[in-house]
Amino acid sequence: MPPIPVDLPLAVDRAAPVSLTVQLGDRLRAAIRGGTLKPGERLPSTRALARQLAVSRTVVTEAYQQLYAEGWIEGRHGSGTYVADLDLSWHGPAAEPAGATRGRPVTRRAGAATAPDGGPLIDLRPGRPWVRDYDEAAWRRAWRQAADLPPGDDPDPYGLPRLREALAVHLRRTRGVPAGPENVMVTRGTGNGLDLLAATVLRSGDRAGVEDPGWRRARTILRARGAAIVPCPVDADGVLVDGLPEDLGLLYTTPAHQYPLGGRLPIARRERLLAWARRSGAFVVEDDYDAEFRYDVAPLPALYGLDPDQVVLLGTLSKSLSPDIGVGWLVASPGLLDAVARTREDLTDRTGGPAQQAVTVLLERGDLDRHLRRMRLEYARRRAALVAALGSRVTGDTAGLHVMVGLPEHRVGPLVEAARARGVLLDTTDRHHHGPPGRHGLVIGYGSASLAQVRAGAAILARLLGPGLADGAE
């Protein structure tokens, strides 16, 4: 049962010069700061509190929205509104002017590192999603149904048939992928799919292309399978096709949202890439990274749909749902998929049955689609906060959970250290290069930080960049 909402002894003054919304927000902040409202306690619904105060529901809704934006409270899907788990050791005087927001709390995360001043760090590094806002009822239902099934004794290397069918439908509807269940293998994620493919199609010493800069774990996986890594340059739109070597066994690429620069591969370049693949015989390994989250632009169709024989599509639920669930997919021609399945059996590699069953339920009931729609709106708010604070210097913001800010090389290191001294963790492009960095700047993630943290971190970064750099000047 959800916690019973606290009975708040609140009042507002209609004769006061301050609006009812601001008054209510101030009283709730004071109650949280003073300990009357404690972390984890459930607040009354907007309807109930409006009735108690004899005000319109809009007054309460707007006050709650402001407190949510500042990080004082948090919503739990289908469960209500709760006081956030806060670090209030920083706050100054208990009383602030009506409507003041200068003392914004920082939400704690279990196990989070601390800033030099003892407060929690704001982690703006890329690579992790927000996992705290999910439909608890749908999640419990999916795992309960998975637990009702008996354990299997002979794992299918292709994955559960029901899940393969559900994934095929999902990919056709959301990515325009013309695939049936015979094209889909259930994996443990993108890395697992890439490893299985490499073990199937590459021999020791074969050359494998990887975007530079690009996902460093792809280099690690391919190198572990004996491949000779060939760095392939990228620009603001993605991998540069002209000049690709003709002797590659495969090319790993992120055309939907290049990691880490953030570009998306234009149609004309996609067609040239596929023509190169057919001419050279190389497989194009399409990591459909960040394709679920797009802003302001329509999604381009997956490369796989343009040439299912030459392209292998990799995907995962690690960004759209949770890294902890360990379910992804590999989409390929039936013949190649059969070869990968044989490799998988030889390696005794498998995806856990209960996780597959739970994901099947989430897909079949539409719960995953609803979660994605909700998170697109949430991530769009955080992305907008970053763009508003950092100005035109931001690039790669049309999709995904990170943006790029280019900087002169000599500015990057000192700026990262200065940000950390102020409690903000940042990533740089340097570690994503195969060799000496050719591009310099910051890779700023907004997936795992709350909206309030993103705003606070972006404000700190904007001050460190200065007005010129924040607007794009070097």
Per-residue pLDDT 10s for the chain (474 aa) are 455 656 677 888 888 888 899 999 999 988 888 888 888 888 888 988 998 899 999 999 888 888 876 678 877 656 688 888 765 543 433 334 334 443 444 444 444 455 555 556 899 999 888 887 788 889 999 999 999 888 877 789 999 999 999 999 999 988 889 899 999 999 999 999 999 999 999 999 999 999 999 999 999 999 999 999 999 999 989 999 999 999 999 999 999 989 999 988 999 999 999 999 999 999 999 998 877 888 777 777 889 999 999 999 999 998 888 888 999 999 999 999 999 999 999 999 999 999 999 999 999 999 999 999 888 888 999 999 999 999 888 998 888 899 999 999 999 999 999 999 999 999 999 889 987 888 899 999 999 898 889 999 999 999 999 875 544 444
| CA separation, residue 180 to residues 165, 166, 185, 192, 270 (Å) | 7, 9, 11, 21, 23
Position 202 scores a pLDDT of 97
Q: Are residues 209 and 311 in the same domain?
A: yes
442 and 361 together in one domain? no
Has residue 8 been placed in a domain? no
In a domain, residue 147? The reply is no
Q: What's the CA gap between 434 and 437, in Å, rounded?
A: 8
Shared domain for 181 and 311, answered yes or no, is yes
Q: Which residue has the tokens 């509190």?
A: 49
| Contact predicate 315/290, CB 8 Å | no
CB 393 within 8 A of CB 470: yes
The C-alpha atoms of residue 229 and residue 219 are separated, in whole angstroms, by: 7
Q: How far apart, in whole angstroms, are the C-alpha atoms of residue 5 and residue 7?
A: 6
In a domain, 96, yes or no: yes
Same domain for 295 and 398, yes or no, is: no
In a domain, 448, yes or no: yes
Same domain, 160 and 253: yes
- Residue 434 in any domain: the answer is yes
Check whether residue 207 and residue 283 sit in a common domain: yes
* The residue count for the chain: 474
- Residue 268: other Cβ atoms inside 10 A: 10
Domain boundary among 106, 137, 169: 106
Is 386 a member of any domain? yes
CATH number, domain of 299, equals 3.40.640.10
Whether 45 and 178 share a structural domain? no
In this structure, the answer to whether residues 206 and 93 fall within a common structural domain is: no
74 belongs to a structural domain: yes
Instruction: Verify that 207 and 327 share a domain, yes or no.
Output: yes
Can you tell me the distance from the alpha carbon of 80 to that of 43, in angstroms, rounded to the nearest whole number? 7
* CATH number, residue 451: 3.90.1150.10
Q: Spell out the residues 6+ positions from residue 256 whose beta carbon is closer than 8 angstroms to its own.
A: 264, 265, 288, 289, 290, 291, 299, 300, 302, 399
3-state secondary structure of 424: strand
Q: Output phi, psi for 351, to 5 deg.
A: -105, 135
Report cis status (omega within 30 of 0) of the bond before 213.
Answer: yes
Domain count, the chain: 3
Q: Please give the Cα distance from 417 to 345 (Å, whole number).
A: 47
In sequence order, the β-bridge partners of residue 441 are 406
Out of 337, 365, 393, a domain closes at 365
Six-digit token string for 281: 């015989």
Pairing state between β 441-445 and 427-428: antiparallel
Q: Given 365, 392, 412, which residue is the final one in a domain?
A: 365
190 and 167 co-located in one domain: yes
In this structure, are 284 and 348 located in the same domain? yes
Both 233 and 348 in one domain: the answer is yes
Whichever domain contains 32, its CATH number is 1.10.10.10
Domain that holds residue 308: 153-365
Residue 130 included in any domain: no
